[in-house]
Structures are given as C-alpha cells and as structure tokens.
Amino acid sequence: MLSGLRDLLAGPIGQFPATLVLGAVCILGCLSLNTLFLAWLERVVSVRIQRRLGPVEVKPQGALQTAADVTMLLGRRLLTPVAADRHVYLAAPVLVFAPTLCVASLIPLSGAEAFADVPYGLLMVGALPCFTALAIIMAGWSSGEGRAVLGAMRSVAQVIACGMPVLLSVLSVVLISQTMNLRRIVEAQQHTAWYVVYQPVAAALYVIGIAAVASRAPFGIPEAGSVPIGDVRAERAGMRLAMFRFAEHTNMLVLGALGATLFLGGWMGPFLPGPVWLLLKAYAIVFLMMWTRWTCRRLRFGRLMRLAWGYLAPAALVNLVATAAFVSVLG
C-alpha cells in the first residue's frame, strides 16, 4: 500500500521527495494517534491494577478524559522562565522527539515496506537514543533552574547506565543473525524460532533496559514526585509539556516495536497483515511496561545505578560472550 502511494506521489514531485513526504506524514500521524491511545490505555491499566475508580467526570464513563487533557494542554498559556536560555529552551522539546522519529522510520513494517531500509539500521538505532540524552541535558540546562539541571543529570546517567545492557543484548541478536539490517533480522527468524527462544536472557535484559531508558517506573526516578527534584519538565506547561509526553509515549511504542523486530519475529504472523502483527507485538511489550509501572515500587537512584552497572551490564556482557562462543563453535 505504501509503495503504491509513493509511486503515485513520485510522478509529480520525484521519488526522493515523495518518500520523504509520505514517510513524515504517515509516521507523524500514526505516532499522534498512538499517543492518544497510550494515554487512554495507561489510565485503564492503572485503574484496573490498582482497583481505583479513575476519572469519571468526562462522560461517557471518563472515556473522553484523554481528549479533555489534550484540550487543556493546548489551551494553556505558554510561559518562558526569565532565566531561561530562550532558543535552546524552545528547541529542546522538538529535539527530544526527533531521534525517536528517526528510529521509527527505520523499523520495517513488512517484508516489502519500510520507510528507510538502511544496511546498518541497527547501528543507527543504537546511536540515536544518545541524542535524546543530549536533548534532555539541553532541556534541563536551558530552563535556568537548578532542579531541572539535576533532573537532567539524573536522566542522562540513567539513559547511559541502562542503555548499555540494551545495546549489549541487541549485539547478541546481531551475532546470531549475522546482520545489522533490521529487515534481514526478521527474515532470519522466518527460518528458525523467534530469537526470544534462543536469547531469553537478552530479551529480558532488553525489556528491563528499555523501561529504564524510557524512564518508566520502577525506574521513573527523574520524575519522582516524592523527592524535591522533578525532571526537565519542571518549568514547562501547555504544548511544551505535551511535546515531552508525546516523546515519552512515542519512545515506548518505538522501543516496543524494536523489541518485537529483534526478538518476536517482527511483522511475521498468520492471517493479519504484517504491520498489524508488528503493532500487536509492540503493544504487548508496552503493556508489559505499563503492568510493571503500576505494580512495582520505584527504586532509589543509587539502587538503580547498582542494578544497571552491577548486574544488568555484566549479565548482558556474559550473555554476549556466551553467544559469541556458541556461534563460533557451531559456525
């Protein structure tokens, strides 16, 4: 379907701009809908798990609460702190979102459809989250507020500490599949079982790691309400705050889709179209993150660092070495 649309557009404006325009419109549209859906799903999951009533003011049965929240955010006045570095302050929300958008364009939707089929796609996927860390520091520092800077430092420390086991567990998949092309990784799983069967440790480390990278509880330390820090969003309201929430929900879906691509066979599945299977698997991982968030208590920062550097990273390293030995012995 996407190929047909691209060919249709390519007639008047050319192949390259047609791919750019179509990719940007489709990805941004889908991710906007995803944000609304995940905000609603998060509320439903939290209410069910914690046996709470939830918001019921917006009829019917509070189902339109998400729409009401969006309207409220859009209607709020935009304020810029006096001490803020204005240009960096305004650019930071967009830059927080941009790397996730790039990663989303790299994930193959089916055997024939991907916005960007890059030979070293996985390498790029590993590089781009670092720019999210960069944007977080920009957001914190530009607020001109000490708490936001401390929150940014915590966020960056968390992303770097927990991103390490994620990257190492992803490398185990590369060793088995012998490629860094995401489409070929999925195709390699067509001839064998899904990689979650061969790499259960890597899959578990990946899920734990992405929950921490996305700052989801029990790793939601930068935004912990129980400590007087707050995170980089401390000095933001309205659309500027909404952009951060947009980035958070998009990050969850993209990391879930990447996990589905690496460990759950990507678009593969019977009866339904490939993109639908990919979304179902991605939302299954997202649901796991939500379940954990509303079930487990939040870790302290020191304990998270000990967990990441003391247990997760060594476990991922041992798994990587064992996989390398296994692959080299079996050829």
Distance of alpha carbon 214 from alpha carbon 259, whole angstroms: 13
| Residue closer to another protein, measured from CB, 137 or 288 | 137
Residue of 275, 284, 280 lying closest to 27 (CA atoms): 275
Please select the residue that binds another protein; options are 28, 58, 137, 241, rule is CB under 8 A: 137
| Residue closer to another protein, measured from CB, 90 or 118 | 118
176 binds another protein (CB under 8 A): no
Whether the CA torsion 44, 45, 46, 52 is positive or negative: it is positive
90 binds another protein (CB under 8 A): no
Please select the residue that binds another protein; options are 27, 31, 156, 170, rule is CB under 8 A: 156
182 binds another protein (CB under 8 A): no
| Residue closer to another protein, measured from CB, 255 or 268 | 255
Find the binding residues for another protein in span 114-133 (CB under 8 A).
118-120, 123-124, 126-131, 133
Distance of alpha carbon 317 from alpha carbon 323, whole angstroms: 10
- Smallest separation (angstroms) from another protein to the CB of 20: 10
21 binds another protein (CB under 8 A): no
Please select the residue that binds another protein; options are 8, 67, 72, 83, rule is CB under 8 A: 83
- Smallest separation (angstroms) from another protein to the CB of 277: 28
103 binds another protein (CB under 8 A): no
How many residues at the interface with another protein, by CB under 8 A?
27
10 binds another protein (CB under 8 A): no
